[in-house]
Amino acid sequence: MEIKDAWILHALMENTADSIYVKDRQCCLWRVSKKMSMDLGYSDPSEIYGKTDIELFGEEYGRQTIEDDMNIMETGQSKTAFLETYTTSSGETNWTLTTKMPLRNDEGEIIGLIGITHEINEIKKAEIEYQYLATHDTLTALANRSLLMERIHQAIFFAKTNNRIFALLFIDLNGFKLINDTVGHAQGDRYLQKLAEVLTQNVRQSDTVARIGGDEFVILLNQISQVENALIIAEKFSDRICHKVDPTANTITAAIGVAIFPNHGESAEELLKAADKAMYKAKQQSLAFQLAEKKPPISPKLHKKTPR
C-alpha cells in the first residue's frame, strides 16, 4: 500500500501538539495546524489563511516576525530552536521555541517558509520559580544571602563609578529566642514574616532587605547622601521593630550595626563583616545601633635594602 505525502501532512496538521504554519513570500499564512488555529480562537484553520502576523498578534510583534520571516526567505538560512515571547491579550507571557526554514519548489526557488513553534511555558515557569527560590528566603520572601551579595556588588560598582556612598544595616533581634521557647516556632515564624513586612514597607524600592540567618537581617541602603542618614534610618528601624512588629508585647528589640561604603570596607565581605562587628558591639553595650569603626589605613610595605 502506498503512503501518500498528503496523508502525512494531514496527520501532522491535525494532531501535532505544536503550532505548524506555512507562509508565502508576502508572509501571509497559507496553511496552519489545528493546534495553532485553536490557540488563536479559530475552530476552522482555513479562517486564518491569508492573514499576516500583524492581523493576528498586533503591530509590534507582527512587524518583528515579518522582518524575521523576510530575512529567512531572502537569505535561505534556517533558524532553529530560537526563543520567542509574546504577551497575550490577558497580559500573560507566552514562551516558545521556534524553528523556521525556507520552503523551496522543484526548481529550488524559495516560495515561502515553514515554521514550527513549541510552547515551553511550563518549563519557563519552573525555571523562574527555581531562580526565585535560589535567591529568596522561603519563609519571608526576602532576598537571601546570595541575592544580597549580588546587590552589594552592584551597589559597589555604581558607587565607585558615580562617587557615591551607601550603607549596610546588620540587624539582630534581642529576645527572639523567648518567642520560640514560650509560644512555639510557628508563632516565631509569624513574627519573622511580620518583621519582613515592616522592614520592606519602610525602605525605598532601590533598597534591598535580606534575611541571612534565623533572626539576622541586612538592609542595603542605596545611594545615601551622608552617613548621618544611615544612622537616622537605623534609629527608625529600631523603633519600628520594638513598637510596630508586635505592638501588644514590645518584648523584642534589635541591635543594629551600620557600615558605610567605602569608609568601612570596599568589598561586600568587608562591609558585611564591619556591620556584623558593629552589631555585636551594640548588643554588648545594650545600644539600639552602632556605627562601624573605620578600617585602619594600609601601611606601606617596608623594603629591606639588598646587601651589596
Write out the catalytic residue numbers: 215
For every residue of the chain, DSSP letters joined together read: -PPPHHHHHHHHHHH-SSEEEEEETTS-EEEE-HHHHHHTT-SSGGGTTT--HHHHH-HHHHHHHHHHHHHHHHH---EEEEEEEEE-TTSPEEEEEEEEEEEE-TTS-EEEEEEEEEE-HHHHHHHHHHHHHHHB-TTT--B-HHHHHHHHHHHHHHHHHHT-EEEEEEEEEESHHHHHHHH-HHHHHHHHHHHHHHHHHTS-TTSEEEE-SSSEEEEEEEEESSHHHHHHHHHHHHHHHHHTSSTTT---EEEEEEEEETTT-SSHHHHHHHHHHHHHHHHHTT-SEEEPPPPPPPPPPPPPPPP-
Whether 53 and 67 have beta carbons less than 8 Å apart is answered as no
For cell 542618614, what's the residue?
A: 229
